[in-house]
Amino acid sequence: LITRFSTIYFSGDPSRIRTAETGFDARVDIERSLWGFCPTFVISAPDCGLAGNCVDRHSCPRGCGKGLGLTTFTW
């Protein structure tokens, strides 16, 4: 299953749009519950190098569970 988007909205707010740069699209890695921007030539979301981090107000306020393999991050 491959899920690709060209546009996303921060917290679903249509006034806070983020569009993928040329040559990229937004992908969802369903198995790892991650999303991010990935080059369009990469077929599988897990091959995009998406990294994850857990943050909550209780047991993990500074971040934990950081994934390895981050290859690209811009916002």
| Tens digit of each residue's pLDDT (9 = 90 or more) over 12-42 | 778 888 888 889 888 887 777 777 888 889 8
Tokens for 26, please give them. Answer: 């937004």
Amino acid letter, residue 54: C
Q: Can you give the residue ranges of every domain in the chain?
A: 1-75
Predicted TM-score (pTM) of this structure: 0.55
Nearest alpha-carbon partner for 52 in 24, 17, 28: 28
Model pLDDT for residues 36-60, shown as the tens digit of each residue: 888 889 888 788 877 766 656 666 6
Nearest alpha-carbon partner for 42 in 69, 70, 23: 23
